[in-house]
Homo-oligomer: A and B are copies of this chain.
Amino acid sequence: MHFRKPLLTALVASLCASGAAVAQSNDPATLAKIRDAAMASDWPYQRLEDMTDLVGPRLSGSPGAAAAVEQVAEAMRKLGAKVTLQPVKVPHWVRGEEKAQLVEYTGRPKNVTQNVVLTALGGSSATPAAGLTAQVIVVRSFEELKERAADVKGRIVLFDVAFDQGMADRGLAGPAYGRGSAFRTRGPAMAAELGAAAALVRSVGGADYRVVHTGVTRLDENRRIPAAAVTAEDAMLIARLSKRGPVTMKLVLTPKTLPDADSFNVIADLPGTDKADEVVIVSGHLDSWDLATGANDDATGVTASMGVLETLKKLNLQPRRTIRMVAWMNEENGGKGGATYHQANRATLEKQFAAIESDNGAAGRTFGVLAGIRPQYEKLFAPLQAALLPIGAGVLQRRDVIGAGDLHALEADGVPSFLPLVDSSKYFDYHHTPADTFDKVQPQDLKSHTAVLATLAWYLANLDQPIGRAPEQFR
């Protein structure tokens, strides 16, 4: 007797499958069915509304983060997924009062001061409750900071580097963000090392609505200073006034760093059949910044990942490998969720077949897949591309630079990683601002985003062939 291989696979699977779940396959009809079911479903958008409207902001350690863990776990249990809460110790930083004024500058009229719009960066220390007052020194590069090292002591350093919206418009939002955010993540520590009283960075993002963009800054534990993001407009104002003469700012920032808090990664498994011990992760991060409800960063990633399981459950499809939805905790200011998972699975990483994370929002078209695989495996994905082409998501690009999100540790240890490709030219207008809200997500965009994740996750979970490990240069 002779079976064609796919048929044999299907037969084996149907024998192993529990209950009424039908056999798994990567044939075009099954892929199309998954894609179309996701395209027709409002379920992820309803979960997005629940997460952003009912829970709201979800910074690690906050009541919102705890509520989000429960909300996602509950929704996944309701679907019939196998839910595990993986404990994660997370930093617990809480925003306080934040305000600033220019109290002295050349040409200042009597009794006039100018308010500066800013927001503390995650990890910032506090000023005295009454504020600190110091001269501002404006620099436009790390080099300039070093050249002016002698001027820094006791001053407030402002890194006035504009976000390159032109790059974002040309499809290079990620690299533009990388360039800009370097000043946010590393600038304050460098200023602190030179004795600065505080550090400010120009907000990293494209909008010109006097919008603050928060984010984490990495300060040396023993040399923490107050650090904040000013709006682009305020950075430009201070820079212009500095050309007229010295500018003095009164700065009040009173965030608190509390003891590390107990939190969780939410893990929800759709168990596989004959290869159930192998895992395909599909994920987003559950925590968000505190200024908004984190709709695109990253409730879309989480709810689309949840939607993968909902789609397969609805179709009564069971994959060969286990498809594991993960809602990571603490991507934004510590990465403890990703690190904890990596640590827990490091002895058997070969069983982590592949990992998908969505963390570029869904506020634009999803047009394909970015794959952290070696070149020789690229051709394996042609059937997937064919299945996604009808929804305009047939692009497959290889990635040869390691990412920095929750998958970082897994990738560095060889787990092939996949990200959806999303038009993110507007993403950094809203990213980490008070404006990252539910209304920024179009239902249709979340549907196609979920369709890409669902079809990709299924495809990976049912591949007969190995896809190797992550590119050498990720190690």
Contact = CB atoms under 8 A, between A and B. Distances in A.
A278 B316 CA distance: 86
Given A208-B435, A237-B438, A429-B209, A67 B292 contact: no
Interface in A25-69: 49-50, 53-57, 63-64, 66-67
Contacts of A55: 109, 112
Interface in A196-238: 207-211, 232-233, 236-237
Contacts of A232: 439
Interface in A84-126: 105, 107-112, 114-115, 117
| Residue in A57, A71, A114, A207 with the greatest tally of chain B CB atoms within 10 Å | A114
Contacts of A115: 56-57
A56 B234 CA distance: 12
Nearest to A209: B209
A260 to B, nearest CB: 19
Contacts of A403: none
A70 B111 CA distance: 13
B435 A109 contact: no
A435 B240 contact: no
B439 A233 contact: yes
Contact of A435 (B56, B63, B233, B241): B233
A107 B430 CA distance: 26
A114 B63 CA distance: 11
Contact of A112 (B49, B56, B117, B430): B56
A300 B112 CA distance: 21
A208 B209 CA distance: 9
Interface string A425-444: 00001100111011110000
A112 B438 contact: no
Interface in A337-370: none
A240 B49 contact: yes
A240 B53 contact: yes
A70 B109 contact: yes
A440 B208 contact: yes
Most buried by B among A110, A210, A429: A210
A208 B107 contact: no
A433 B210 contact: yes
Interface residues of A, number: 45
A437 B240 contact: no
A112 B117 CA distance: 26
B209 A433 contact: yes
A140 B50 CA distance: 24
Contacts of A292: 210
Contact of A63 (B71, B110, B437, B440): B110
B237 A107 contact: no
Contacts of A111: 63, 66-67
Contacts of A57: 115
Nearest to A108: B54
Nearest to A430: B209
B107 A437 contact: no
Contacts of A54: 105, 107-109, 112
Contact of A208 (B53, B56, B241, B439): B439
A110 B67 contact: yes
A112 B211 contact: no
Contacts of A53: 107, 237, 240-241
Contacts of A207: 209
Contacts of A108: 54
Nearest to A207: B209
A55 B112 CA distance: 7
A66 to B, nearest CB: 8
Given A71-B109, A236-B438, 20 more contacts: A50-B107, A54-B109, A54-B112, A56-B115, A63-B109, A66-B111, A67-B110, A207-B209, A208-B439, A208-B440, A209-B209, A209-B211, A209-B429, A210-B211, A210-B292, A210-B435, A211-B435, A233-B437, A233-B439, A240-B438
Interface of A: 49-50, 53-57, 63-64, 66-67, 70-71, 105, 107-112, 114-115, 117, 207-211, 232-233, 236-237, 240-241, 292-293, 429-430, 433-435, 437-440
The 8 closest A-B pairs by CB, nearest first: A67-B109, A63-B111, A209-B209, A210-B435, A54-B107, A210-B434, A233-B437, A209-B435
